[in-house]
A and B are shown apart, each in its own frame.
Chain A
Amino acid sequence: MLQYLLKRLLLFVPMLFVISFIAFGLNQCTPGDPVEAALEGTGVMPSAYPREYKQKAAALELDKPSFYFSLTAVAYPDTLYKIIPQRHRETATALIAQFGNWPEISGYLQQIAVFKTKLDGLRRNPETKDQFNLAMYATERLPQTHQPASIQAGFDSIGLALALKPALQQKMSPEFETLKQAYRQISSRQTRGKLYIPTIHGYGFQNRYHNWLIGMLKGDFGTSLKDGRKVSSKIKEAVNWTLSLSITAILLAYLLSVPIGVYSAVYQGSKAERVVSIFLFGLDSMPNFWMASLLIIFFTTPEYGMDFFRVLGPASLPADAGFWERFFSAFTAMILPVFCLAYGALAYISRQVRASMITALKQDYIRTARAKGLTARQVVWKHAFRNALFPLITMFASVFPAALAGSVIIEHIFNIPGMGQLMIKSIQGDDWPVIYTVLMLASLLTMIGILVADLLYHVADPRVDLNNKNRK
């Protein structure tokens, strides 16, 4: 058994690796600039923006390569990741994808920077203020676009600004000509062939994936992009809610479904049993978010005179609130969500218990027990139920992950600050450090749930060979 446990735990490692690839890969494919998202609404002055951007990007390790190696075309330089901000990098990538000549493109981008610095030196001249602003605006836009039409439009407006003021024209004209020349060279010296020759760049261990993984292993999950809090503290708060929700729901479901399942098997075929069975089947197919919406409509609004629960989610209590006050606040907040999570599990488990009890009651030993003269209660609970226990245990492997998954939407609806709500909020805000961690943690919890069920399977019936079991 210990050997089996170790083997299964070892198998966790490659699985978690794959999941980390999936999570990281999803992040890499997500469009949008995380630094801009993080700086949004922080009130950074426009003049300080480039510096702040650089610092933030460095803090988020965005100036590092993303993986140990990359498979790209020869046309792309291996230092492409060093270009920040992201918009400039995207422009460079798009230009390379069209023309394939990095030296010329890099020359063009550098020329823009040179032109901008020179132009910046003329900032103080009050006489040419308007024209300066126009030219500056166009210059700043240049590295953000790869479309020939908008680049040409940028050149046109710089040219116009320069032509209006001879003072500007005189100073900037040579640089402007070089800039235009640099751009023309990109299209005149295309090396598109380079786009089709693959190459592998190695980056070593100084990459984002490696650092993130090492951090994870050390228990450092990073900081949230949105509020700068530690991901671990955010998740610690959330996981309490989620676990207490789903574990209460599962316990409740198990407690109720055993008698329901057993009695509906014993009284199989009676009218009452039929009604119960149909009802359970209906419950099983009932989407929990629909049930939740209906409950909210009828039980939380005064519209129908049944507003037993006035607030959704835990009420914000003063800091000095006593234990019981806190307890009741959490308790009332959890009644409806626990019900929504429990009824589906209840229906599912009772149906399974019923099925396995029906099989057990047909066995020969039940007839023997009856013939011996045992009471009905003894036959049902001691002889049949013990043998029908089996699926109850294995079901845990599917019930637990399902409750975790189900709580995502239920938490969202009932405004419970658990993992599900955290996840939805993070996804809406592109807060990837949180998304990674929740995804990994939820997967780990699910794997542990499945493992526990497998072990219980063995404990309940030692005849089951763990290593050769064909899990269904």
Chain B
Amino acid sequence: MARKYEFDYDLIVIGSGAGGSAAATITAREGLKVAIIEDNVWGGESPNWGDVPAKALLHAANLYDEAKHGARFGLRSATLGYNYPSIRTWKDLAIKRTGAGGNRKYYDNQDVDTYSGPAHFLSPNEISVNRRHLSAGNFLIATGCRYVAPKIPGLDKIEYFTPHTILETLRPPKTLLIIGGNEDGVEIAQLMATFGTKVYIVEESDHLLSEYDNEVCDLIERVMTEQKGVTILTQAKVALVEKEGLGKKVIVSRGGVDKSLRVDEILVAIDRKPAVDMGLENADVKYSEAGIKVNEHLQTSTKHIYAAGSVLGTNSATHTAIMESHVVASNLTNLAKVSPDYHAIPNLIFTNPGIATVGKSEKHCIRKRLGYKKAVAPLSIIGRSNTSDFRDGFVKIITDKRGVVKGATVVAPHAAEIIHELVLAVNCRLTAADLATTPHAFLSWSEAVRVAAANLILGK
């Protein structure tokens, strides 16, 4: 008879964020003996320093912005102001109300043992947490990623913000230079600009959000510069930063010309690296700086050790990490192994107008030389743009040659809500005709989806 090894736990989850939490609770509910280890704040990035606080602040900023521009609707808003400490209190309340931030007790109630401290593998089945050795038959690594300082001369000698720490600032700075025009950089640029900060964005590529389709880049750059007064320096690089009085002096190199800027604060919104420094060599887990390598079932090179979330190096959103965590839980509790399906994952940026994408973009189709059809419906042609007096945005749908929806981009108010119709279409392989013949309510933003789908059928 085969010898049965005894371990302290059936599963040890390292990291209590989106990638670890679901697997821990699901497997515990299925009767496995589970422990979870967290070396920082319980709940991980999303509820404590990521999505939840950022979106709570952006909600307040958008309300303030809309009210400020209410004169065209007959609203008197000349004396409108804000109290940033109160806005921060609102943000803290939002974190508390989600229930996920600092939620150690939640795991205790779910029969999951909790340990605080950095985890370090001693062998493939043994881990050390504060000198306490724990063994398990399976592990799930869901440690996420960390911001690391990019190699910019002088950056190590000054204090600077990351997208996490800027949410804790006591008040918006007068001037802010953002290094990196990615999703985080653009969201924070809009947040701070709305509260009156003069924002500069330095981006190495030729557009902000350079991974997105050109219509998105052009529109968001126009909104940022014309409506928010943001100065965007694309194809530019920060050559040097140094302290100058109470502020910072930044040398920006652009087209061979150096330009000097003086700003109060700097935000570094690039260079997130997976948190892999936990003695993975002792467990024979293959990894690189870019992340942990896994197979289609999210198993690492050591089969009983799984990994999920942004530690895989995919910079995944919270909902992707949750999906991966569910996959790991399923693979641990069922004999038939499943794989995560990434083809219909929505991607959101909570600017105003919001940006939401799903599936393949036009840029991707061109890069991969895929045959595709596209149609764009500008918001200005639907009734809602008139009643809301808002025209900056569009819905773009990408289909294959047979008309099956392969991807979509929405730039509109409430884009995060509108996109889910298109997520369903991509996920269930619906056609543009299916979308065009589905009744859409008059004066809803979603009417633009129907118009774009109808344009595809008509070949416009």
Whether A associates with B in a native complex is no
**Residues of chain B whose beta carbon lies under 8 Å from any beta carbon of chain A:** none
**Residues of chain A whose beta carbon lies under 8 Å from any beta carbon of chain B:** none
